[in-house]
Structure 1
Amino acid sequence: MRIATWNLEGRWTPRHESLIGSLRADLLLLTEVRAGAAITGFNIHFTEAEMQPGRRWSAVAARARLRPLPDPHAATALAEVDGLRVASSILPWGNAGGAPPWTGHDQGSRTAAAVASIRAAEPVIWGGDWNHELTGRLYAGSRSGRTSVLEALDHLGLSARTDTMPHRLPGARSIDHVAVPTSWIVASVERVSAIVDGVALSDHDAYVVEVE
């Protein structure tokens, strides 16, 4: 099974769908998704809440049958795919502020609050734009936010297999992640550039984790 995550930055064109097709994914954990975007061959479930008009926070898309579940947090989509609970999330960025859907006085406390809701939903596969590097130097994330995410992963028995993958920016590590059960065998982890023919389709690259 190939599991991919990509922050679409609210854009949707034939080029975006073409890049998604090139990922050869079975399961997509998408963030900043244009409302109403349709992906050939996939069933898709969006968050109920909008990030801004016409843009949903997150979505889960699957080639298999998908059963939508209630959003555990406004910025997280949750669905059941082949009996597995799958979550796609945006977690707070540095200057996200304390307005809904975030609660807390800084990035760390806002991340902790969002993660607590997701952790309670007990996803078996969890990914998306977490706005935190999980290893190495922190550029985008906060120290306490990283701790909240790592503690949740440990509680859920998951491992973020993208934790050491590079970011597009030189020297930085990915803030977009795919986490799967620690017992699963991972065949490969890839970063796929979202710059196509010199055009940046998004300010985020895509990441693909293949499990056996």
Structure 2
Amino acid sequence: MRIGTWNLEGRWDARHRDLVDSMDCDVMLLTEVSECFELPGYDVHLGQQLMMPERRWAAVASRLPMRPEPDPHGASAMVVIEGLRVCSSVLPWRSCGTHGPWTGSTTAEKTAEAVAAVESVRPTVWGGDWNHALSGREWAGSMAGRRYLLAAVERLSLQVPTAWEPHHLEDLLSIDHLAVPQSWTVDAVGRHRAFVGTGRISDHDAYAIDVSIDTTDD
């Protein structure tokens, strides 16, 4: 299975569609998704809450049949695909404010609450714009928020193959992630730069992983 993630920054046109098509993923965990998003060959489930007018926090697009589930958190969307619980999330960042869907007064508190909400539904596959690097310098989130996130990943028995992928900003690591069960084999990990010509089409690059699924624990 090939799984990808991309923060679309609320944009969607032929350039974005071409990049997603070139990634050739079975499942895409999308964030900051325009309500005009459509992708031929994929079923799409948008999370319920608006980030701003005509932009949803999160969505899942799948070539495989899927069943929508209730959003575990206001900035997340969740589905079931072939028995796998798949969740796409935006997690808090330093300047995200204190309005909904965030709860808490600090980045760490808001991250802890959002992470706990997602962890409670025990996703099999979890990803999106986590707004935290998982090692090294922390630029968007908080070190305490990172610790909450890493602890939840460990309790869920997940691995994060994107943890060492580069950010598009020099000397930073990715804040967009894909987490899958530790029992799965990760065959490839890659970044897809969000450029057309010399211009960016999103302020985030996209990422994809190829995995071989271990079903012995099903």
Distance 1:193 1:68 in 2: 29
Distance 1:72 1:139 in 2: 26
**Residue 132 (structure 1) aligns with:** 132
Post-superposition offset of 1:196 = 1.4
**Residue 29 (structure 1) aligns with:** 29
Amino acid at match of 2:3: I
Give CA-to-partner distance per residue, 1:147-196, whole Å, 9 cap, x none.
11101101111011100110000000000000000111001100010011
Post-superposition offset of 1:141 = 1.7
Map 1:87-102 → 2, pairs under 5 A? 87-102=87-102
Give CA-to-partner distance per residue, 1:33-54, whole Å, 9 cap, x none.
0013111110111110100000
Give CA-to-partner distance per residue, 1:112-171, whole Å, 9 cap, x none.
000000000110000000000001111112011001110110111101110011000000
Distance 1:4 1:113 in 2: 25
**Residue 61 (structure 1) aligns with:** 61
Map 1:1-212 → 2, pairs under 5 A? 1-212=1-212
Post-superposition offset of 1:199 = 2.1
SS at match of 1:93: coil
Contact 2:132/2:141 (CA < 8 Å) preserved in 1? Answer: yes
Distance 1:118 1:62 in 2: 20
Distance 1:173 1:179 in 2: 16
Distance 2:185 2:108 in 1: 31
Distance 1:26 1:9 in 2: 21
SS at match of 1:32: strand
Q: Figure out how many residues of one structure are paired with residues of the other and give that number.
A: 212
Amino acid at match of 1:7: N
Identity of matched residues, %: 49
Post-superposition offset of 1:74 = 0.5
Please list every run of at least 4 consecutive aligned residues from structure 1 whose deviation after the TM superposition is greater than 6 angstroms: none
Contact 2:4/2:208 (CA < 8 Å) preserved in 1? Answer: yes
Post-superposition offset of 1:87 = 0.2
Which 5+ residue runs of structure 2 have no aligned equivalent? 213-218
- CA RMSD across the alignment: 0.6
Give CA-to-partner distance per residue, 1:70-128, whole Å, 9 cap, x none.
00001000000111000000000101111110011111100000000000011000000
Q: What TM-score does the superposition give when structure 1 sets the normalisation length?
A: 0.99
Contact 2:135/2:163 (CA < 8 Å) preserved in 1? Answer: yes
Amino acid at match of 1:92: P
Distance 1:132 1:49 in 2: 22
Distance 2:114 2:162 in 1: 20
Amino acid at match of 2:193: S
Which 5+ residue runs of structure 1 have no aligned equivalent? none
Distance 2:186 2:101 in 1: 33
SS at match of 2:155: helix
Amino acid at match of 1:206: A
Distance 1:88 1:104 in 2: 21
